Structure 1
Amino acid sequence: MGAPRKTTILVDNVAVPRFAFGLGSLMQWAPNHAYPLPTDSSKEVSQALKAGFRHINTGDIYTNNESAAESIKASGIARKDLFFSLKLNTYAALGCRGKESMVESTKKEIERFGLDGYVDLLQLHFPPRGHPGNLTNREAWRVLEELKDQKMARIIGLSNWTLADYEDLMDAPDIKYKPQINEYEMNPFLLSDPKLRDLSSYEMKHGIVHMNYGFLSILSGKLPHDGAPELLKELRLLSNETHLTETELLLAWAYDRLDGIVISSSSQEQRLVGLAKLFLEKDQVSLKQSVYDRIEKTASEDGYEGKTIYKHGHMNAAASKG
């Protein structure tokens, strides 16, 4: 077996739980994924909290926040024992009217979830890039800097930002705080994507923590199985050898190999209990390096093209200064 797992990671002198329970994947959608429907996720959130999850990850445009807030308040968990990460919408097309909207939304979610005046991590959900009706990247980041100064956020970060977006922001002469976390999709296939490899190298150089989602997409049906024959076959073999489920294997890979924060969720109580035992309890250990090597080798044989649920058209988009 490998080294003992760290259950938290230190970011800006704040201990961040490395396994976050995400609300986004619990939302129900209209046909053809046209738009999210109002969703009651109170049961799932209650189960997650009961299992031991203390990091909740959501976005202000998610449609299950009200039900999740009810479960969090009913849990009786002290605010100091809860880590709450909130992503702010920056797209005019989704209702953002600029700075005013972002500030109002932050205050609304803080009140809704009963967070005693602050969120632990506040993120820009998308890079706005100054597209029609949007703020520029720098303008949007400045809003987060102000909210941090006002003690409404302990840590500020990003989501779905690219290398071009980073360089635009970091080059700004008046930047006060540098981003400390970037949340974006990663799975074993995407390790071979040169754009994401460059992004990861940049983040390592600047001490930016990666928060990962989408690493279970090949099992959830969000990616076509016919594009990953080698990995699926290898996961079945490894499952028999390690007595872990394929879900647990991929989560272990993300947790141990990407060395940041992982986001996942489930509506199955027993699965949550099992995941909590493996990844939330102290003194758990990582798998052998050879297990992860086999996962990555077979994923590279399947290739990275088309292996995303969040279509990375933004990976080729230019950032807008401001």
Structure 2
Amino acid sequence: MTIGTGTGAGAGAGTGHGDEQGDERGDPGLGAIMSERRHLINLGYRLLGSLADAEDVVQETYARWYAMSPREQRAIESPGAWLMTVASRICLNQLGSARVRRETYVGDWIPEPLPEPTEWNGGPSGGADPADRVTLDESVTMAFLVVLDAMTPAERVSFVLHDVFRYPFGEVAAIVGRTPAACRQLASSARRRIRTAHPTTAAPATGQAGIVRQFRTAWEAKDIEALIGLLDPDATATADGGGLAVTHPCPIVGGERIAHAYAEIARVAGDRTTFLECTVNGLPGLVAFQGGALVTVFAFEVVEDRIRNIWAVRNPEKLRPWRTTDGLTD
């Protein structure tokens, strides 16, 4: 698995990407300030793994901006960089408190999955697509986000700001509250975690689509042997219901065990469940519908033509961006 190095929408954010607005540091204006929203959402989602939490961070960031007087706002040389810095610090604080909240979370926690923007038709508010505000590059694949979630808050923020958004370590240090040398070490530690978790290159999206399609076919047919052939012998299947949906209580480890467990899921679901192919965090995945309602989003990690990881998100609170089925392929 390779690392996204600055290809996201926020690349260069720390060096004044938002200071085109204003005239001689005049009032940047509402439009210019709100144009930074996508950069902030991109940052917040990568740091928190939750679109809902990212949106809360953006709201808090803007609240702090508008709590300042016009004179204080005009004194800020780069409003865009100021907003990104404030959002980063809010995320850092939230990451610390999130670890405490996870101790009471029912079952395994999986980052909130995102649909492809073209597979969205309106949102909870009927307005702009939240997923469309997140650039779907490799730094938001489920495999990448799961590794990020295992990092310490300082590691995660240092790595994402430097390797994904290309902040210099001097600016990262001011946000994290460490020295530039310490932040360099944190980012290096994060890279080692990623290499350890993903020592080989994942299959390209085109190849993964074929594997996911074969998996869907074998699953619907309850063909255990075919499922075993598609799964890495050491594969892991993890589900997230958050106590709000029925899931396996612990990750299932081993391709053969997963094949038997998923065949049993298909048997119990019967004709009530329909599986459709879709894009999940930029890569091929599946969604399951029961009675016309979307109940599960499946993300996959495919390595060397075998499925290494399956992440099944069933917590309905994490399926908010998937409230419509328009654009999904049958």
Q: TM-score, structure 1 length as denominator? A: 0.27
Q: TM-score, structure 2 length as denominator? A: 0.27
Highest Rg: 1 or 2?
2
More helix by share: 2
